[in-house]
A and B are shown apart, each in its own frame.
Chain A
Amino acid sequence: MRLLIVEDEARLAENIARSLRETAAYAVDVAADGEAGLNAIESNPYDAVILDLMLPKLDGMQVLERVRQSGRRTPILVLTARDDKESVIALLNAGADDYLTKPFDLGELLARAKALVRRGKGQASAALTIDDLQVNTADRTVSRNGRAITLTAMEYRVLEYLAHRPGAVVSKKELLEHLYDYNWEKFSNVIEVYISGLRRKLDDGSSRKLIHTLRNQGYVLRA
């Protein structure tokens, strides 16, 4: 998953980004003002956006409105210092999916961000089940048929993305766009390494294969 944080307070943005990377294994981009944020949202398929309201150049409300006007359905969580009813109502009506008032709890922010991500993918539960495979996004544990499976951080990222969209064909390009933030170099052949790692850990010794490769199309996670 790949998230964008639009926050002008550099230290706050850095703290949130670090938390998301470390505990949720998300790829995270940071934009320091509204204009940069809007550009980033328009040019990258983020799985969720964390948007501060008081921003230089373009304030959060304007960013929110422009994103929704252009028809993008990216889940957006707004950080605001105001918790009065009117401003919360205005935020939600402008197209925000959720909000959090400053100062907030980092744990709560992470949980809300994860909930937004899975809602955006049409999932409801934090524990994803595909046949006898269990992917628990809350504590990042994976098991198949009751047997715990240990994955590397990148393998987990790939699996989590596929598990959010079971049965759908996910192209290599899509995976690249959602697993790396723009600080990372993107090597397309690296994906194949992770897929083969996953296949070995999940499917070896099992009669039913879950990870399928469709030539020139991408990958599918299904029973």
Chain B
Amino acid sequence: MQPNSIQRRLIATVVLSQSLLTAGLVLTGVLYTYWRLLSTLDTSMQARALSLAALVRYNDNATGDVYFDDTMVPPSIDPARPDVFAVWANRSGLLARSDIWPSNVELSPGGDQHWNAKWGHVPYHVLRMSNVPILDRVEGPLSKGPQTLSIIYASPTVRLRQQVRAAGIIIAVASLVLLVLMAKFALRGVGKGLAPLQTLAEQAALVSTQDWELRLPEEVEQIAEIEPVARSMKETLARLQRSFVQQRDFLANAAHELKTPVAVLKSTLQSLLQRPRSSDEYRTGLNQSLEDIERLERLLQWMLRLARAEQWAHGALRRNLELIDLNANCEEAIERVRSLARSRNTQIVLSRNGPLLLRGDPEDLRLVWTNLLENAVRYSPEGSRVEVDLAQDKRDLARLTFKDYGVGIPSEELPHIFERFYRGDPSRTRATGGFGLGLAIAKALVEAYGGTISAESTPGKGTCMTVQLPLDTG
């Protein structure tokens, strides 16, 4: 067992609380026994004190004087340890005292009371009674009137103490035995109770990139303590699987996208070499190969851009942040696509509504706008227009829309356009020179700045891209 073990901690808690309970139990038992025995002793002492009172007799002279008949003194409660007593009458004074009287002990009559005392190393329980009537009855009046008695009766509590101690030991031993048994049961119970954790660990170890499912027996999964753990593990696994599949698809797509231009290049060169050719044919072939390599180069650049954008999106690399006005930033992007727009005789119209300040890398955002603008221009018919509108949506949110009057996007393609390498109809997009990465890059960058991007489109009428970005209001 490792030092930081739930099992160990649980058992320690159980044993500790059980020990406290046991101690409490032993204490209660001892106190209760003591109290019971003491009250029994008290009763016996009262009875003996009263029987002492019964031994006080009136003299026959009818004066009311009394004497103590010491022939019938009751035996001591503990035969081995003699009780101690004294009897006073209110007029006659001390009537009697036990034969054995501890030295240096002075007692006087007084109010009703009982207490513990230690006389000559012997513990006593002492009972004092007053106004005890004389039980002896005489005929006729007493000239000095009747008397009342004060009695002190003390009995050694040695035996009582021994009994209490014995009871304490019995209770303590029994409790300890129970405690040990309890700890053993707890150990087994906790071990059994923690077994589902073992199952969870074993099943979690079986999860792999081939099989993402965490399979738990139903009786394990429904345990109140396991259920939230299992649930969050499953959620995490699902998230990981999604991102794993996304990465794998990206790799597969990237491989395909890279292999095709390589295949073109290779076949061009091989077919050139298949037989002797004229220098014109070689020239054409080499020029084609050069074009293919340039396309490959562009594709690699786009893929690296996307990888970088996604890294920024995960906050891994954030650099060169400065305060940017989106209006100026967007205008710079428009300048970049100006020549493409001019070649297609397309007008780009910008409408701005006050400053929109944002902290960011100006190149990131220019890239977003450039990608959106290039798409808008490419899919617009010649002589058409692209409208860019910048507005403040709420106090801290900028909204940029890029609207074109082009071919539009079929509704079944709309949900996929931000996916990497998604190209819709490849014959159409390949003709426009896209790799299906521009929108994925735009999305990754916008999300890196905490924004959102969405598209609306009516086939045949046009497309409107909306970007929302949180502004720097500080």
Answer whether residue B252 sits at the interface, using C-beta atoms and an 8 A cutoff.
yes
Answer whether residue B9 sits at the interface, using C-beta atoms and an 8 A cutoff.
no
Please state if A104 and B263 are interface contacts (CB–CB under 8 Å). Answer: yes
The answer to whether residues A54 and B274 also contact, given A8-B430, A12-B263, A103-B262 and a CB cut-off of 8 A, is: no
Contact of A11 among B255, B259, B264 (CB under 8 A): B264
Answer whether residue A18 sits at the interface, using C-beta atoms and an 8 A cutoff.
yes
Answer whether residue A32 sits at the interface, using C-beta atoms and an 8 A cutoff.
yes
- Kindly supply a per-residue 1/0 record for chain B positions 247-261, scoring 1 wherever the CB is within 8 Å of any chain A CB and 0 otherwise: 000001001100110
Answer whether residue A214 sits at the interface, using C-beta atoms and an 8 A cutoff.
no
Please state if A8 and B264 are interface contacts (CB–CB under 8 Å). Answer: no
**Interface size of B by Cβ–Cβ distance < 8 Å?**
23
Interface majority SS on B: helix, strand, loop or mixed? helix
The answer to whether residues A82 and B270 also contact, given A8-B427, A12-B260, A103-B263 and a CB cut-off of 8 A, is: no
Answer whether residue B271 sits at the interface, using C-beta atoms and an 8 A cutoff.
yes
Docked Cα-Cα span, A32 to B426, in Å, equals 11
Answer whether residue A209 sits at the interface, using C-beta atoms and an 8 A cutoff.
no
Which residues of A are found within 8 Å of B292, using beta-carbon distances? 11
Contact of A16 among B262, B265, B267, B425 (CB under 8 A): B267
Answer whether residue A15 sits at the interface, using C-beta atoms and an 8 A cutoff.
yes
- Kindly supply a per-residue 1/0 record for chain A positions 67-94, scoring 1 wherever the CB is within 8 Å of any chain B CB and 0 otherwise: 0000000000001011000000000000
Docked Cα-Cα span, A101 to B274, in Å, equals 21
Contact of B427 among A33, A81, A101, A106 (CB under 8 A): A33
Query: Within the complex, what minimum Cβ distance (angstroms) separates B248 from chain A?
Result: 11
Query: Within the complex, what minimum Cβ distance (angstroms) separates A202 from chain B?
Result: 26
Answer whether residue B275 sits at the interface, using C-beta atoms and an 8 A cutoff.
yes
Query: Within the complex, what minimum Cβ distance (angstroms) separates B266 from chain A?
Result: 5
Query: Within the complex, what minimum Cβ distance (angstroms) separates A19 from chain B?
Result: 5
Answer whether residue A213 sits at the interface, using C-beta atoms and an 8 A cutoff.
no
Please state if B266 and A103 are interface contacts (CB–CB under 8 Å). Answer: yes
- Kindly supply a per-residue 1/0 record for chain B positions 416-434, scoring 1 wherever the CB is within 8 Å of any chain A CB and 0 otherwise: 0000000001111010000
11 CB < 8 A contacts A-B = A8-B426, A9-B263, A11-B264, A15-B267, A16-B267, A19-B267, A19-B271, A33-B427, A54-B260, A81-B255, A105-B266
| Residues in B lying within 8 Å of A, measured CB to CB | 252, 255-256, 259-260, 262-268, 270-271, 274-275, 288, 292, 425-428, 430
